[in-house]
Chains A and B, each alone.
Chain A
Amino acid sequence: MSTEPNIDPLARLGGIEAPAADAAARTRAIAAATAAFEKESSPGAQGKRWGERLKSIFPTFQGNWIMDTRIPIATAAVALLLLPLGYQLYSTTSMTPPVVQQPAVAPAPAPEPAEMGEEADTAAEVPVAAPEPVMAERAKTVVVPQSGAASPTMDMEAMPAPAPMAPSLMATGMAAPADAMMAMPEASGDAFAAFDEQPVKSVAEEPVSTFSIDVDTASYSYVRRMLEDGQVPSPDAVRIEEMINYFPYDYAAPEDAETPFASTVALYPTPWNPTTRLLHIGIKGYEPPVAVDRPSNLVFLIDTSGSMDEPDKLPLLKRAFRLLVEQLSDNDTISIVTYAGSAGVALEPTSAGDKAKILAALDNLWAGGSTAGVEGIELAYQLAEKAKVEGGVNRVILATDGDFNVGISDPQELEDFIAQKRGSGVFLSVLGFGAGNLGDDTMQSLAQSGNGNASYISSFREAQKVLVEEMGGTLETIAKDVKIQVEFNPAMVSEYRLVGYETRTLNREDFNNDKVDAGEIGAGHTVTAIYEVTPAGSDGALIDSLRYGSDEPAAGGNSDEYAFLRMRYKLPDSDVSQLIETPVTAEVAYDDITSAPADMRFAAAVAAFGQKLKGSVYAGDMDWQTIRALAQGARGKDEAGYRAEFVQLVDLAASLRPDR
């Protein structure tokens, strides 16, 4: 497996060199350390020399003075004792910068060296322990009440990079007002692929817009957690299409599996801009009726390495799979393969009717265990082949916290292997657990190679959503390489802007090229794309019309069509794409947003929310209250409560970054 079989693989550890330290972080650290050092060594400031002074007073006065004077001396002594203590108490309140606090009673640390190791330990603990309550206190005042169970430690850690704030606080001497402090998107410690917002495009210059669909929803979960933690997520973390697609929409479903999805189009006024309209494209994947029970052959490939031994990893995984097992019926087959240092079969292919046996095998999994055997992923695919069902779902489900030590170490080789197996009809899905070393990119690319999707199971609720409510979509791909192309009619539309999908744009020529990969749609998935369009002749146009441009509508275009929607897709077992075409006519236009269906209004509210959170230049000035009202009025049935949760999220965002 190693690329250099003759060299000790551990020697490769020397290979990664740290990127250069950030100069700003370096300066901050040194400044903070200097401040701490000054505190440490300045005499009297923290009252730490008072012990010495007392000692020097007592011997001098003893014997020289008569008995009666002892009372004033005692008083003086008490005063001397209390003053520094009082100062200490005063200075440990929130008035003080939190960087370094001396413990309340701290004579200079005896420099008598004991065992070197221990001392470094204890001495090092002291200054870090102290700032904790201070930070926690301040964090509490600004964090909007949420779960309620947050411990002081958690609160402190929810505040990103506490220490770098210290110098500025020290400079002003007071804590900054809460909103000013929270308004800036905090550095979360995460790096995001930076992307620019889709610009407004002129229909005369670029009448065709092409992109790949995206059914991922991770960005919404991320934004939700950040807001619940009292932080404004960084703009690059907000991917609007993922936020919109998190919610299920009640679009018209296709009749049969031959046309795997149907589109719903609507045109309605933009809530954040009176001069433009939103072109709403909704796609709903075919959902096989419950009566048709396609046999499934599922192989769970489970990471049981030691790192999985955390509450939000293997134990959560077990509970999640229990949910899934409950969903399956007698003609489904389940196998379990584990891998850690080595791979083994934990459960031979077993009918899902035999739930007791499956659950027993699941219970027997424990992190850190490993069984001798062949490499994990090959073993999983062997079992999948062994129990393969024709015309059914054959899928390997890889559950991991990021340890892709499945037997093939080269990622490209692994992708190729998965892609090759995909050809034989066995697909792959990836479930991510826990945190720390998980490679989001690796997960995504593996799942894409395997025509599956990658989901993060961060909580039991998320497991419920992915494995029960959206099980069809998770397990069954109904169309692959789905691309969307919209051609605007310059006679009706002068400008357009695609909301979101920044990372999914395709070239115009890619649309008809079946070699170009695009997104997959699972059974019952809904996908939504929104364009903000400026009607021709509107005074809201941002781009001046071309002096030498032609006003002629495109040849062959129907003059009352706003746009023409083309969608290309491949059936799961086909390599040739098919085309669905739909004109967008005045029939689907609503004059008033309140008359548009609730789904459309809700999606518009989510788009507005995302754009405001990002600080979009196009929709930044819609106020939170309007967004909230729009979402509130468009909740519809909302059986799972996702939309109600969204409304609360708007409130949170509003309190974290109030309208000015």
Chain B
Amino acid sequence: MPLTADAADTETDVADLVTLARAGDRQAFVSLVSTHYDFVYRTAYRWCGNRSDAEDVAQEVSIKLAAAIAAFDGRSKFSSWLYRITLNAVRDMQRARARRGRHVTALAEVSPQSAPPEQEDAAATRQLWAAVRALPDKQRDAVLLVYAEDLTHAAAAEIMGCREATVSWHIFEARKTLRGFL
């Protein structure tokens, strides 16, 4: 489900909550986090591909929000801003993970987690996901924002903090890399 479904109808509510939370209203902050937790978790899941990592990221983002909410200026949509924080958190986690490669190897050894099996050709999709996740950061972000999150190139550009043309270029590059796979 793309983020807009969550955010569109409640956009004014969200804006109010953000304003209150920035002013230090605890209740507003809690409901802000509660309403967006699932969105963050779902996004993180798509990026990480497994549940426990997604939960870690979602928690981290929730905590980050406590400090970061004061810095949200309302110039972009709250959801785009949240996207960006989530993406950063995912990337931080993956970098940290690369540093401790040995441990992760141990974790992967016995049982990698698998994607939901109930879907038809889930296996092919899973392989595609694996390939996409292995792309360079920018390309991956662009591909996932546009295809998995169903955003326009413009919206993806806003989240990634670059120009629309750059997003298109990243996707073109990604297609080239994935050529053998598609």
B127 → A minimal CB distance (Å)? 6
Given contacts A124-B85, A161-B56, A305-B134, contact A222 B66 (CB under 8 A): no
Say whether B26 contacts A37, CB under 8 Å. Answer: yes
CA distance A153 to B92 in the complex (A): 13
Q: State the Cβ distance, B80 to closest chain A Cβ, in Å.
A: 9
Q: How far is the CA of A221 from the CA of B109 in the complex (A)?
A: 8
Interface residue from A9, A39, A340, A434 paired with B128 (Cβ < 8 Å): A9
Q: Does any Cβ of B come within 8 Å of A33's Cβ?
A: yes
- Which residues on the A side are within 8 Å of B1 (C-beta)? 17
Residue of A whose beta carbon sits closest to that of B148: A13
- Binary contact track A110-124/B, C-beta < 8 Å → 1, others 0: 010100110111011
Stretch at the interface among A57-65, A318-326, A397-405: A397-405
B101 and A14 contact, CB distance less than 8 A:
no
Q: Mark A213-248, 1 if CB is under 8 A from B, else 0.
A: 000001101100110010000000100000000000
B46 to chain A, nearest CB (A): 7
A9 to B148, CA, bound (A): 12
Within 8 A of A (CB), among B22-79: 22, 24, 26, 29-30, 33-34, 37-38, 41-42, 45-46, 49-56, 58-60, 62-73, 75-76
A441 in contact (CB, < 8 A): yes
Give Cα A457 to B78, complex, Å. Answer: 45
Q: Is B131 a contact of A116 with CB atoms below 8 Å? A: no
Please list 15 pairs of residues, one from A and one from B, whose beta carbons are closer than 8 Å in the complex, sorted by A's number. A1-B181, A12-B124, A14-B148, A15-B119, A16-B148, A18-B42, A33-B65, A109-B70, A123-B67, A123-B70, A154-B103, A190-B113, A219-B110, A306-B136, A341-B180
Are the C-beta atoms of B99 and A34 separated by less than 8 Å?
no
A222 & B136 in contact (Cβ 8 Å cutoff) = no
B155 within 8 A of A: no
Q: A80 to nearest B CB, angstroms?
A: 23
Q: Residue A29 at the B interface, CB < 8 A? A: yes
Q: Mark interface residues in B143-177 (1 if CB within 8 Å of A CB, else 0).
A: 11001101000000000010000000000000111
User: With A and B bound together, what is the CA distance between A633 and B38 in angstroms?
Assistant: 55
On A, residues with C-beta under 8 Å from B are 1-3, 9-19, 21-22, 25-26, 28-30, 32-34, 36-41, 99-100, 108-109, 111, 113, 116-117, 119-121, 123-124, 126-128, 153-154, 157-158, 161, 163-164, 187-193, 218-219, 221-222, 225-226, 229, 237, 305-307, 310-312, 339-343, 370, 402-405, 409-411, 432, 434-441, 456, 458-459
Q: Which of B72, B123, B179 contacts A342 (CB 8 A)?
A: B179
**Is A18 within 8 A of B124, CB to CB?**
no
A435 touches B127 (CB 8 A): no
Task: Decide if B4 is an interface residue (CB 8 Å cutoff).
Answer: no
If A111-B70, A342-B179, A440-B109 touch, whether A16 touches B100 (CB-CB below 8 Å) is no
Alpha-carbon distance between A404 and B42 when the two chains are bound, in angstroms:
26
Return A400 CB to nearest CB of chain B, in Å: 11
> Across the interface, which residues of A come within 8 angstroms of B131, CB to CB?
305, 403, 405
Q: Are B63 and A18 touching (Cβ within 8 A)? A: no
- For chain B, which range describes its interface: under 10, 10 to 19, 20 to 34, or 35 or more residues? 35 or more
Contacts of A158 in B (CB 8 A): 100, 103
Asked if B178 is an interface residue, CB under 8 A from chain A, the answer is yes
Chain A residue contacts of B127, Cβ below 8 A: 404-405, 409
Assess whether B182 is interfacial by the CB under 8 Å rule: yes
- Are A435 and B63 within 8 A (Cβ)? no
Q: Are B110's CB and A435's CB within 8 A?
A: no
Cα–Cα distance between A12 and B181 once the two chains are bound (Å): 13
A164 touches B180 (CB 8 A): no
Within the complex, what minimum Cβ distance (angstroms) separates A358 from chain B? 26
Are A456 and B105 in contact (CB-based, < 8 A)?
Answer: yes
Contact of A436 with B104 in the complex, beta carbons under 8 Å? yes
B38 touches A21 (CB 8 A): yes
Contact A456 B109, CB 8 Å, known A126-B67, A370-B180? yes
The reply to whether B109 and A17 contact each other, CB–CB distance below 8 Å, is no
CA distance A116 to B51 in the complex (A): 30
A256 to B150, CA, bound (A): 64
Contacts A341-B179, A434-B105 given; does A440 touch B130 at CB 8 Å: no
How distant is the Cα of A85 from the Cα of B112 in the complex, in angstroms? 46
Shortest 3 CB-CB contacts between residues of A and residues of B = A225-B106, A18-B45, A113-B73
| Chain B contacts with A in 1-34, Cβ cutoff 8 A | 1, 21-22, 24, 26, 29-30, 33-34
Say how far A481's CB is from chain B's closest CB, in angstroms.
Answer: 24
B90 adjacent to chain A (CB < 8 Å): no
| Chain A CB within 10 A, most for which of B49, B99, B112 | B112
Max chain B Cβ within 10 angstroms of own Cβ: one of A41, A218, A435: A435
List of A residues within 8 angstroms of B26 by Cβ: 34, 37-38, 41
Complex interface: chain A residues within 8 A of B33 (CB): 29-30, 33-34
Question: Of residues A16, A18, A438, which shows the largest number of chain B Cβ atoms within 10 Å of its Cβ?
Answer: A18
Cross-chain contact A14 with B110 (CB below 8 angstroms): no
- Report which of A100, A157, A342, A438 forms a contact with B63, defined as CB distance below 8 A: A100
Chain B: CB-nearest residue to A305: B134
B108, B110, B136, B180: most-surrounded residue (chain A CB, <10 A): B110
Q: Measured between C-beta atoms, what is the minimum distance from B2 to chain A in Å?
A: 9
- A108, B59: Cβ atoms under 8 Å? no
Identity of the chain A residue whose Cβ is nearest the Cβ of B72 in the assembled complex: A120
